[in-house]
């Protein structure tokens, strides 16, 4: 065993010992064969630790509204069951009472206690979800390209050089995060989904746009796809000259956290690595955009092996993650995570401000604290870790960095700047908002120095009305 890998959880054997040899009924399959565990297995899963009946009931209530899914790798290797409910990975994956507003919690709890038919619970859950802003920042309408009035579902083109693609087979994950802003993709309501099976459409769209240098495959988690499906989307880039201008291909994934076996033990792991290798050989930059929230996700032997195998293909792993109350709102957690990433050959890329969706009130951190956390963390790492940018809000006009808080001409202000903008000319221009210790998102900020609007607002209004949204 590598000296750096200290599994945080007891081994499955230890867990079984603790329970007097009673096998939770979820261990029938080998631990390295993927099997999703869902709401129906909550009771069996709770046997791994000291989950109280109240907590178990709360999880049932919350998971009636918000998606829940995990697997044995996560529960047996990433969670320290002696530290629940405070363990960070536990809170990343397991629903907690505070993730619903009190009224909503009570409504669902009451229905479950009265054992009403499931459809009735489902109806109440749908109502609650619809209030949780399933598609923040105009995701569903604003960024979808339209040709002859037809939206190309599953493709977003917000920034000139980068196209985002959501393959339909990649719209789920090896486990779900409780804070996920993509949660609407997982609950099976068709009208909330954005995705496409149309590989031909993707290739045609890109072939017609020489400005596009970057393709970002996202989800859900594209790494949930079988390699043969991934091939259908990506193999063309190896040898089609019409796609030569697409130089950088990123794949957004949390599989290094939730299922590193994808790159090591899955039946088609070797084929996947060969595909990455071929893409790299075709002269491209292939980036695995790994989502890590906490260093605790990066300590098993199998994740180290997965990282090593990916890097052997020539693909680069970059990391990005949101800042979340109760999980990683501490500069030391980020500093340790970035240091370990640098050591493992992963390049820290973005720290995000949590989006305005889902159980936001549970996770949100005021912008000023996001900045303090970022600053406190970046000061602790060497230059190799300072490739990371943020804290960044992915808002309607673009990615806005909270550069800092400063007093300028007697007024306390937020200094902000675009890291990425709907209009390329916005990028890199600092601007100022009145300081507000409670603000958690761009739309709560007001321009500083007596200005009526931010410099980009008129242009943004024009752009969004052109796209059919006032």
Ligand X SMILES: *Cc1c(COP(=O)(O)O)cnc(C)c1O
> Do 98 and 55 contact (CB within 8 A), yes or no?
no
The answer to the question of residue 284 lying near ligand X (CB under 6 A) is no
Q: How far apart are CA 43 and CA 228, in angstroms?
A: 35
CB of 9 to ligand X, least distance (A): 33
Collect all residues with Cβ–Cβ distance below 8 Å to 190 and sequence separation of at least 6.
Answer: none
164 binds, among ligand X, ligand SF4, none (CB under 5 to 8 A by kind): ligand X
# of chain residues touching ligand X (CB under 6 A): 11
Asked whether 95 and 58 are in contact (CB, 8 A), the reply is yes
What phi, psi does 58 have (nearest 5°)?
-60, -40
Answer yes or no whether residue 341 interacts with ligand X by CB under 6 A: no
Q: Binding of ligand X at residue 182 (CB under 6 A)?
A: no
CB contact at 8 A, 245 and 215: no
Strand 346-353 relative to strand 150-151, pairing: unpaired
β-sheet bridge partners, residue 389: 350
Contact 338, 328 (CB under 8 A): no
State which of positions 356-415 bind ligand X (CB under 6 A). Answer: 394, 399
- Please list every residue from 416 through 435 that binds ligand X, using CB under 6 A: 419-420
Q: Give the DSSP H or E segment for 176.
A: none
* Smallest distance from ligand SF4 to CB 174, Å: 8
Least distance from ligand X to the Cβ atom of residue 404, Å: 20
Candidates 41, 70, 71, 156: give the one binding ligand X (CB under 6 A): 156
Other beta carbons within 10 angstroms of residue 352's beta carbon come to 19
148: left (phi over 0), alpha (psi -120 to 50) or beta: left
What is the C-alpha separation between 354 and 333, in angstroms, rounded? Answer: 17
Binding track over 209-238 against ligand X, x by CB under 6 A? -------x----------------------
Asked whether position 335 contacts ligand X by CB under 6 A, the answer is no
Asked if 202 is part of the footprint of ligand X (rule: CB under 6 A), the reply reads no
Considering beta carbons, is residue 38 or 213 the nearer one to ligand X?
213
Of 182 and 339, CB closest to ligand X: 182
Q: What is the length of the chain? A: 470
- 118-130 and 102-113 helices cross at what angle (nearest 10)? 170
Q: Which stretch binds ligand X (CB under 6 A): 156-164, 271-279, 338-346, 436-444?
A: 156-164
In this chain, which of 34, 48, 68, 159 binds ligand X, going by CB under 6 A?
A: 159
Q: Does 158 help bind ligand X (rule: CB under 6 A)?
A: yes
Reduced DSSP (H G I as helix, E B as strand, rest coil) percent helix, strand, coil of the chain, to 5: 40, 20, 40
If one asks whether residue 205 binds ligand X (CB under 6 A), the answer comes out as no
CB of 177 to ligand SF4, least distance (A): 3
Pick 246 or 303: Cβ nearer ligand SF4: 303
Q: Does 318 bind ligand X (CB under 6 A)?
A: no
Rounded Cα distance, 32 and 409, in Å: 60
Give the binding site for ligand SF4 (CB under 6 A). Answer: 173, 176-177, 180, 182, 219-221, 254, 291
- Provide the binding-site residues for ligand X, judged by CB under 6 A: 143, 156, 158-159, 162, 164, 216, 394, 399, 419-420
């Amino acid at each position: 065993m590598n000296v750096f890998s200290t599994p945080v959880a007891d081994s499955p054997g230890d867990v079984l010992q603790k329970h007097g040899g009673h096998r939770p009924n979820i261990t029938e399959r080998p631990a390295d064969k993927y099997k999703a565990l869902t709401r129906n297995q909550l009771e069996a899963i709770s046997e791994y630790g000291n989950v109280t009946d109240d907590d178990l009931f709360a999880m049932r209530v919350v998971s009636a509204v918000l998606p829940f899914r995990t697997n044995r790798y996560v529960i047996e290797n990433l969670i320290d069951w002696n530290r629940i409910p405070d363990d960070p990975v536990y809170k990343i994956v397991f629903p907690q009472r505070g993730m619903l507003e009190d009224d909503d919690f009570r409504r669902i709890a009451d229905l479950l206690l009265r054992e009403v038919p499931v459809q009735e619970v489902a109806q109440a859950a749908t109502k609650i979800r619809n209030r949780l802003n399933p598609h923040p920042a105009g995701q569903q309408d604003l960024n979808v390209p339209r040709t002859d009035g037809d939206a190309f579902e599953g493709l977003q083109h917000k920034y000139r050089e980068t196209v985002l693609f959501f393959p339909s087979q990649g719209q789920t994950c090896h486990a779900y995060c409780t804070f996920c802003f993509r949660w609407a993709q997982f609950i099976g309501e068709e009208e909330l989904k954005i995705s496409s099976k149309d590989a031909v459409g993707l290739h045609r769209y890109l072939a017609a746009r020489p400005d596009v240098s970057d393709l970002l495959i996202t989800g859900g988690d594209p790494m949930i796809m079988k390699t043969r499906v991934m091939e259908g989307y990506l193999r063309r880039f190896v040898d089609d000259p019409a796609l030569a201008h697409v130089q950088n291909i990123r794949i957004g994934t949390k599989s290094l956290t939730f299922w590193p076996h994808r790159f090591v033990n899955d039946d088609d792991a070797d084929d996947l690595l060969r595909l990455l290798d071929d893409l790299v050989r075709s002269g491209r930059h292939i980036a695995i955009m790994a989502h890590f929230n906490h260093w605790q996700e990066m300590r098993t032997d199998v994740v180290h092996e997965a990282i090593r195998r990916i890097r052997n293909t020539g693909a680069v792993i970059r990391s990005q993650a949101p800042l979340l109350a109760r999980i990683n709102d501490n500069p030391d957690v980020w500093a340790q995570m970035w240091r370990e990433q640098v050591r493992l050959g992963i390049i820290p890329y973005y720290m995000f401000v949590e989006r305005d969706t889902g159980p936001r009130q549970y996770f949100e951190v005021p912008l000023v604290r996001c900045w303090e956390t970022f600053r406190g963390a970046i000061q602790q790492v060497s230059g190799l870790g300072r490739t990371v940018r943020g804290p960044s809000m992915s808002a309607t006009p673009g990615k806005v960095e909270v550069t800092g808080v400063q007093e300028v001409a007697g007024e306390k202000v937020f200094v902000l700047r675009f890291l990425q903008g709907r209009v390329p000319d916005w990028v890199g221009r600092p601007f100022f908002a009145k300081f507000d210790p409670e603000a958690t998102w761009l739309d709560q900020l007001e321009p500083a120095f007596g200005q009526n609007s931010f410099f980009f607002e008129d242009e943004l209004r024009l752009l969004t009305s052109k796209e059919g949204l006032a």
